[in-house]
Structure 1
Amino acid sequence: MNYEDAFKHYREGTATEEEKAFVQEEIAKAKALSTLLDDEALAVKPAPIKEADAKEVKEAKHQLIWKRVLAGLLSIVALLVIIGAVLGGVFGSAATYAKDSIVYSKAEAAEIATEFAYNDAVNRFGFTGSVTDFYAESTREIDDRFNFEGDLKSSYYTYKVEVTGWSEDGWEFEYEISVNSKTGSCSVLELERDREGRR
């Protein structure tokens, strides 16, 4: 016998005695089962989490965090290595082009700077004397500076030369001159002109 059909007839009041007995029997079984399920002594309790399981979860979580931190650090290191390689290639090439474009050595730059300082003193201050009154510092002390322009092949070095000169009337000239190693052109970076004995 089908319970759904029997229950439908039972609710409508058209059920036979046999259907009524069957439905009442099934309802009694359901009530008994419900009572059993509601009884706390018989209720199914969730299994407690074992202490070892909680420790394993903590360790797994800790390992996952360290793996993520390590992956992040390795990514940063890899990025820095790549940036270093790219910049090294660019500036290494520029430095090579600059070295290849050197036309004037440090010694020649010292001579050019000395002559430039002498001519500047004559033209600007009316210096009287000879070029031998001016001298440049030792070539070991000449600073060379790398100049990088937009085009790598246009890179060059400049020499910073200090030149000192004395006039017959007691003036001291101290020049700091930049000499382009590629063209030999000069420019005055700094000039101090003092009377002898005064500072």
Structure 2
Amino acid sequence: MARPRKPLLSRDRIVGAAGALVDSEGLEAVSTRRLAAELGVSGPSLYNHFRTKDEILEAVADAVSAKVDLSMFEEGDPRDWREALHDWALSYRAALTAHPHIVPVLARGPGRRPAGLKVADAVFGAMTRAGWPPAQATHIGALMRYFITGSALGSFARGFVDDRTAYDPADYPHLQQAHLLADHQEKVDEGAFGTGLRALLDGLGCQYEAGGYRKA
């Protein structure tokens, strides 16, 4: 029997199938048995590409990191460091909110993931080129990751139920409109992210001026 022109399995196929499962059902849905069934192969054949389920999830997380725009950090880009951080934060959050179930894996840090390491390298390089001392550049990268991944881990608006009776004015006199928040989840959460991002960048701008840092 002639060999098929394309192999039944590849890393990309496995990552794609695992990513689809994570998106639709969450991290717990991923197992080698389930993936093998989805791909129409035997379970052991997955181990020719990945040693463990955790390695597969790491690869799924890295595929999401690879979707983040880093063009604003390239040398020669006209955006200053504040504009670059702002535009990158929006791109990063968009990637995470499109794949919220993988965020807990991403929140652990880049580890050995190539795309994740490229993100960290790009941010650090851009901040040091802008004149930030290396230690401060490291802090900025960490701060931005905490803020962005934290915002994608859950929804403030969805934390309230669509039931007016849950918020008795005798107990919660300032939550009389809280039952409406869930219906405006996207607007509330995006507004909160934008407010926080502006405040964060304004604060960093004050530190930058006070420290007398300038682009090298």
TM superposition score category, shorter chain reference: under 0.3
Scaled by the length of structure 2, the TM-score of the pair is 0.18
Of structures 1 and 2, the one scoring higher in RCO (CA 8 A, sep 6+) is: 2
Scaled by the length of structure 1, the TM-score of the pair is 0.19
Of structures 1 and 2, the larger Rg is shown by 1
